[in-house]
Structure 1
């Protein structure tokens, strides 16, 4: 009898550890990965806007332009761009790279596909880990019921 009680307690401890792992590690990781993927969707919207602007510049043959630039806190200043054929693109971590229009369009298309795929794979992996741990918990509990 004491052996059965000890085994039951050991199973309950294992179940508790698995549940804590899911609640304290996997679920927050999943929420974080989903938030980062959503942030990428927002960045992609910015890149899509840039892509449309580049296509409009090409279509209309614009090689110079004047524009209002937001300096921050909704303070604007007029700016003149003498040569629009080269643009600087924020590639992340505060770095900007000078691209031609075609290089920028190529960079945008490669970046879009790769980053979303990475986070989609990570999210699927975390969900699979959660499912596997939950299945392990279910099996432990079935053994306890028998």
Structure 2
């Protein structure tokens, strides 16, 4: 089976504090995985590293069997902590910006909004959405 993500001995230290210590695992195409653990166990730090938001102290990872780069990240959709969009723009306009960044066609926006139950609210501003709606967007 193809690996979507492969992480090898990923480590993050903040001074003398080790937030993530030699994490190794892989995610195979077609499967669903979750990172579970108590507060402060390094879940968000691990995600931050593999999304190029936080620099690791050691270790490596690959997306789709290749070294991480901007092209591989265009295939990834992720939210760390809470969703961030422009509050004064509509869902549709926010997704157009995401499509521009990921270099994909706007043609799928309505389809994806329908999938998450937000098509009828696509012209509403992000700030008017409930937290659940924001997370689905």
Q: So what's the TM-score if we normalise by structure 2?
A: 0.22
Choose 1 or 2 for highest CA Rg: 1
> Greater relative contact order: 1 or 2 (C-alpha under 8 angstroms, separation 6 or more)?
1
Greater per-residue helix proportion: 1
